[in-house]
Amino acid sequence: MENNGLLQDKFGRKHDYLRISITEHCNLRCTYCMPEDGISLTPKPQLMTADEIVSIAQTFVSLGVTKIRLTGGEPLVRKDANDIILRLGKLGVNLTITTNGILIANFIETFKEAGIKTVNISIDSLVKDKFNKITRREYFDIVQKNIDLLLQEKLNIKLNVVLIKSFNNNEILDFIEITKSKNIQVRFIEFMPFSGNQWDKSKLVSFAEIMETVQSKYFISEIERLKDAPNDTAKNFKINSHMGSFAIISSVTNPFCSTCSRIRLTADGKLKNCLFSNSETPLLETLRAGESIIPLIEQNLLSKKAVRAGMDDDLKFQNPELFSQNRSMIAIGG
């Protein structure tokens, strides 16, 4: 369905990509995502039910959304995740999911039936001890096994790797080596500031540093710059002789705000027009009252800032008084 303008902000950006967090719960405790002492979980009555998730998604599809990504927390830990995935799969959109990979074996047939063709897996180290350290759990072997399972089932795999200096930036070439013989896209993500994740710029591995590392092994002539998809957050590359590819998401050093087409729905039914925004529009009360949420959606998008929720320079972006007012990553849904 053509976007009729309601999903357009005052800068002319059209939003056809909805990311829905279906839970705040997770079976990992990744350091960059969740504060060490955890978060205060939203009481269940304040969370979206499966019917409400589907209803809100249907409204967005009627307004022009063509892609929906399910996130969390870890979306697959939700007890009715199977039902939600299957129902959203009937909306005629490009349905995708971001998961930590632990429970994938239980959902392969669900993914197929719902038409999910691409699965994003968050994994930040190929070294078992380091994986366990950053996730504060011990699921490394299970995740590796499920990545192989997805390959066997011919599903597209994207590995999301948050790079943190002095932790896993020495694994950049190891991750790229995976793409030599496997049809996998590795996506390197710059470490971003959120409440409770002890962010500071010294931990950032920038786009330039990532490319410098790649070029330390491969000649420039071997590194192919691929064509990015419209409104893509990633800059895509491929080593000529490799089966897979790699990409860099540089939200900090090279923000892609001018082409942003994303809008986010939190598990408690609040709309965020930017990952970095502390401003949210609650939809549930209006939906439960039987009233239209479309005016709220329109209002939310018209309030969207041009760049990173108004943090339009480096000093603002590094100011903890600004980014600490936002939710932790696990409560946003990415």
Whole-structure pTM value? 0.91
User: What value does the mean pLDDT take over residues 299-327?
Assistant: 72
Whether the per-residue pLDDT at 273 is higher than 70: the answer is: yes
One DSSP character per residue, 179-209 reads HHHS-EEEEEEE----TTS---GGGB--HHH
Instruction: Output phi, psi for 247, to 5 deg.
Output: -145, 160
- Band the pLDDT of 287: cuts 50, 70, 90: very high
- Pairing state between β 67-71 and 94-99: parallel
**Contact predicate 249/189, CB 8 Å:** yes
- Pairing state between β 262-265 and 270-272: antiparallel
Whether the per-residue pLDDT at 5 is higher than 80: the answer is: no
Whether the per-residue pLDDT at 86 is higher than 60: the answer is: yes
- Band the pLDDT of 2: cuts 50, 70, 90: very low
Amino acid sitting at position 128: K
Whether the per-residue pLDDT at 254 is higher than 90: the answer is: no
Percent of the chain with pLDDT over 90: 72
Pick from 321, 302, 303, 322: nearest CA to 312: 322
Residue 117: Cβ within 10 Å count: 13
